[in-house]
């Protein structure tokens, strides 16, 4: 039973006189939050934000993360767990047999109700190097789960800029672009100067010592001279995929 169905059933009961004013208020509160003691799950987020609460698995115990995902799956059609380990997935799989694990992206995905995708409004996800692909896949799979067509264009960094120039028309066909780069993060500025679409830049922690675990790429992207480039946090592929999806669904 979905959260939205639960709400409709409660309203029907109230309309039929089976619940009082005080009882319907209490019912809504009961339905919107599941208190597990160590976590309070926000079911209403699916109606407020258009997608259920996403679970950041890192830092939680395996049992905590597995139980949270299981409870969310009982109330929502699509569930996403980020920064998830294979060990966690092995536990989740016993409870949610239809769940999938994406090793590179470290994502657990349960997609019972696939969202419609508009082929005329695509998101391009671009990386500077192959080492940036895990973060790119976190962004791309997130965007796909949230109802978007995704174009993947990987390993087209500025060290061999002809690789990027050969993909310009494909990049321009997208409605917006997510650029993922480590080292000095220059790719976001280059792409921003070639397109008339929003660019979401993701700095990664890929790079040698003076990269400072992504800080140099972050600062480079924040200081981009290309207008129309916005920046999310270091290694935050999920945040970029979510933001890209929100923008892509605006009409």
Q: In what order do the strands lie in the sheet with 176-181?
A: 149-153, 122-127, 176-181, 199-203, 229-231
User: What's the pTM?
Assistant: 0.91
pLDDT of residue 139: 98
Distance CA 77, CA 109 (A): 11
Distance CA 241, CA 238 (A): 5
pLDDT of residue 116: 92
pLDDT of residue 228: 93
pLDDT of residue 62: 97
Domain definitions of the chain by residue range? 3-111, 122-248
Sequential pLDDT tens for the chain (251 residues): 587 777 788 788 878 887 787 777 777 777 688 889 999 999 888 888 889 999 999 999 999 999 999 999 999 999 999 999 999 999 999 999 999 999 999 999 999 999 999 999 999 999 999 999 999 999 999 999 999 999 999 999 999 999 999 999 999 999 999 999 999 999 999 999 999 999 999 999 999 999 999 999 999 999 999 999 999 999 999 999 999 999 999 98
Q: For strands 100-102 and 122-127, give the pairing.
A: unpaired
Which residues make Cβ contacts (< 8 Å) with residue 219, sequence separation at least 6? 185
Angle at 218 between CA 215 and CA 222, to 5 degrees: 140
Asked if 168 and 194 count as a contact pair (C-beta separation under 8 A), the reply is yes
Domain 122-248 CATH (choose: 3.40.50.1970, 3.70.10.10, 3.90.1640.10, 1.10.10.10): 3.40.50.1970
Of 250, 244, 172, 247, nearest to 202 by C-alpha is 244
Asked if 104 and 133 count as a contact pair (C-beta separation under 8 A), the reply is yes
Which residues make Cβ contacts (< 8 Å) with residue 234, sequence separation at least 6? 203, 204, 205, 213, 214, 215, 217, 218
pLDDT of residue 115: 93
Distance CA 174, CA 120 (A): 8
pLDDT of residue 28: 74
Which residues make Cβ contacts (< 8 Å) with residue 194, sequence separation at least 6? 168, 171, 172
pLDDT of residue 4: 77
> 171 in helix, strand or coil?
helix
Token duo for residue 199: 């660019």
């Amino acid at each position: 039973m979905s959260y939205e169905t639960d709400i409709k059933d409660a309203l029907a009961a109230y309309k039929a006189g089976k619940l009082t004013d005080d009882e319907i208020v209490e019912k809504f509160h009961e339905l919107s939050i599941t208190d597990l003691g160590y976590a309070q799950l926000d079911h209403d987020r699916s109606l407020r934000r258009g997608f259920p609460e996403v679970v950041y698995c890192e830092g939680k115990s395996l049992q905590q993360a597995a139980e949270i995902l299981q409870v969310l799956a009982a109330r929502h059609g699509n569930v996403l767990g980020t920064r998830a380990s294979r060990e966690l997935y092995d536990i989740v799989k016993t409870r949610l047999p239809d769940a999938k694990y994406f090793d590179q992206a470290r994502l657990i995905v349960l997609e019972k109700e696939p969202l419609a995708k508009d082929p005329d409004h695509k998101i391009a996800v671009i990386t500077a190097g192959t080492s940036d692909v895990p973060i790119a896949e976190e962004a791309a799979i997130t965007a796909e789960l949230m109802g978007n067509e995704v174009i993947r264009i990987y390993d087209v960094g500025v060290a061999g800029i002809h690789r990027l120039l050969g993909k310009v028309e494909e990049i321009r066909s997208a409605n917006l672009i997510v650029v993922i780069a480590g080292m000095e993060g220059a790719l976001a500025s280059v792409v921003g100067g070639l397109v008339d679409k929003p660019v979401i830049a993701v700095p990664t922690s890929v790079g040698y010592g003076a990269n400072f675990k992504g800080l140099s790429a972050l600062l480079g992207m924040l200081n981009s001279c290309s207008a129309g480039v916005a920046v999310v946090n270091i290694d935050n592929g999920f945040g970029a995929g979510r933001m890209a999806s929100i923008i892509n669904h605006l009409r």
